[in-house]
Structure 1
Amino acid sequence: MSKVEDLEKQIQQLSLEELAEFRRWFAEFDAHLWDWQFEADVKAGKLDERAEKALRAHSTGQSTKL
């Protein structure tokens, strides 16, 4: 049995209160990982091309105000 399968079985056995607590924890954990990955991508320059494209589009009037 894989670790994921084992976790699935354990999660299925949680009470509603425990499941709510797990959801809160996992949402925070996942958000932290997403932030870390985003920062790493920015530092590595992986978003530079998209940013430049967006700025060019904006400077030529191809964007709209939110």
Structure 2
Amino acid sequence: MTSLLEKAFDLASKLPALEQNILARTLLDEIESEKKWDELFAESEDFLAQMAVEALREEAQGMTTELDFNKL
């Protein structure tokens, strides 16, 4: 545990029980949220890689057209 986190826990331990529980729930929710984002980003890399492979395959097969900004 880092000294900063240790200091935060020390200060938090002096709060009333209700405030400690609110702080704990907030921290746990934040950790869970970060975990979910990490999982989503990890999955998106696979998805984007698959899309890139498919786009390159379509380009190699002549299935794509050049983008004309005047036609957007």
TM-score between the two structures when normalised by the length of structure 1? 0.56
Equivalence for 1:48: none
Q: Structure 1 unaligned runs (5+)?
A: 46-66
Structure with bigger RCO (C-alpha 8 Å, 6+ apart): 2
Residue 37 in structure 1 maps to residue 38 in structure 2 = yes
Q: Which has the larger radius of gyration?
A: 2
d(CA) in 2 for partners of 1:22, 1:8: 10
SS in 2 for 1:7: helix
Equivalence for 2:3: 2
SS in 2 for 1:44: helix
Amino acid at match of 1:9: D
Pairwise CA distance, 1:8: 1.9
Using the aligned pairs only, state the percent identity: 13
Equivalence for 1:18: 19
d(CA) in 1 for partners of 2:24, 2:8: 14
4+ residue runs over 4 A deviation: none
Amino acid at match of 2:5: V
d(CA) in 2 for partners of 1:43, 1:33: 15
Amino acid at match of 2:44: K
Pairwise CA distance, 1:4: 1.4
